[in-house]
Chains A and B, each alone.
Chain A
């Protein structure tokens, strides 16, 4: 991550690059949910974003996930400026490059775990052949090979979140966006999901995790704080230099 006009810390090729990206809701009254911010996340990084409620975490995730548009600045995913692209292009990036994991899982209640995972390829334009096998692989990757035919109502909270993670992984995205992935889980299940995410990181998946939970944030390589729309990150390698923080220019 960089402050505005400063050099990015990461050395890996950027998966996400925000340049002066800001978001103001028109209101009335207008709300500056995210002040202009620069952020670079390299391939394979595990980044946690923490902050109190209303600080702008979800706004940041919606911008990075292309679910909302910035009112200023640019957003690049894999080197392509998509912040202001037509919806057709942004939808394709969401389908093929970004995986989402939500706090409330967002599983379709009348579909089995396998069907929920397969849903991730419905809008990719990919051939239907092989969809089932890929979904089974994704479920195996999160340890749910035995529950493929279960409805969400028959799964525990941790299992549901693992189904959601499998769905997010199905298209092998460049970036996995996790919005409070353990927010609805007890501490044991939180540890279980955190381990799954760590495993994905070890396998090379780029993770951006928004969380209230310090234990979950602690597992990330980089920890960014957001408060009143301002991003803050301790300078340098965080394990080595935890003593300072740089504010992004507003």
Chain B
């Protein structure tokens, strides 16, 4: 065996299995130091996996919650009125009917917030010594209430009959009803809005799409127009449109022309921010910061590995000399230190990826979410750690290969 190798005049060789064994043995010489050296990579890779995993999981939750509303709602704003200096209403009188004729529209109605010039909302007649409440008063068509998904706790919603006749009726949100002392509608109680009497016909329990309706009083649009006139500057009218699933973008593109063929630019139609856009908006800023921190941890980890490996080169000079005497070439010495630093990075990456996955799982279990983790990310994390270790070992490996054996053995 020896004779054959000698006669072959071959060169010294380091088998890959021997390289792996030697690298592992080198790391296990000082296990405590190896573990501490890995910490930077563990934190960096763990941070990456946890941040990306939690981001994906949170995006999944946001997507689920928003996708339904996202696909079925359009808001039209009276943009010309918002720019005008005098009270203006650019929606036509039959706006609800016009919008309702668009294919895909389930319900559509105009609403705006009434700016009361005088007085407030009270359950007692004017002149009675009682403090009125500063409640939000909203003018809305019956179809606006339907489109908004208003739900009744008691009574009824005002309807087209009340609207067409501009009757003084009102629907009160449950919190406002409590403030006004309206416990029951059996006696057709009245409230006074800016001194005007209104019969309360219903109490709202909630509202899906227009949360501002959940705190105040809603009166028919025509009634508001009759008493207080068009929407004031700064309180431009809106139309809320509920559409069939997925029809919102098409409806949004058609509705300004349908409502104001003479001046479609007076109205601006928008769909709610999409789920994916919202996800990006919510998470991108935070993710950027956290990923930057994880990146810094990775760089620190790489510097830590490089520093430790360089110290090891200096400490193990006599070992390097011995290995050279036993037939190692400079490239073998470099390879060993590179293998050690790569192994440190790989083990750090494995540990970090595992901790990152555990973090994601713990958070999702605590929040009753469904964990979303890209398998590619989890598999790539240890590889990234190995690459970091490899890069960190380049300079120490070069230094090790330059050690003169005669000097190292002295």
Contacts and interface: CB of A to CB of B under 8 A. Distances in A.
Interface of A: 58, 62, 65, 67-68, 78, 80, 87-89, 91-92, 94-97, 100, 102, 104, 106, 108, 110-111, 119-120, 122-126, 128, 130, 167, 171-172
Contacts of B324: 67, 91, 94
Contacts of A128: 15, 17-18
Interface in B2-32: 2, 5-6, 9-15, 17-18, 22, 25, 28-29
A123 B5 contact: no
Given A102-B409, A124-B12, A111 B329 contact: no
A123 B327 contact: yes
A126 B325 contact: no
A92 B325 contact: no
B2 A172 contact: yes
B18 A87 contact: no
Most buried by B among A91, A128, A167: A91
B14 to A, nearest CB: 6
A76 to B, nearest CB: 14
A31 B318 CA distance: 24
Given A67-B406, A102-B409, A172-B2, A124 B325 contact: no
B323 interface: yes
Interface string B377-410: 0000000000000000000000000001110011
A95 B29 contact: no
Given A87-B329, A91-B329, A92-B9, A106 B321 contact: yes
A125 B329 contact: no
B318 A94 contact: no
Contact of A87 (B28, B319, B330, B410): B330
Interface residues of B, number: 35
B12 A123 contact: yes
B186 interface: no
B330 A125 contact: no
A128 B323 CA distance: 17
A123 B13 contact: yes
Most buried by A among B15, B22, B324, B406: B406
A106 B409 contact: yes
Contacts of A119: 323, 326
Contacts of A104: 318
B328 interface: yes
Contacts of B322: 102, 106, 108
B29 A125 contact: no
Contacts of A67: 321, 324-325, 405-406, 409
B366 interface: no
Contact of A125 (B9, B10, B321, B406): B10
B5 A96 contact: yes
B1 interface: yes
A52 B1 CA distance: 41
A78 B6 CA distance: 10
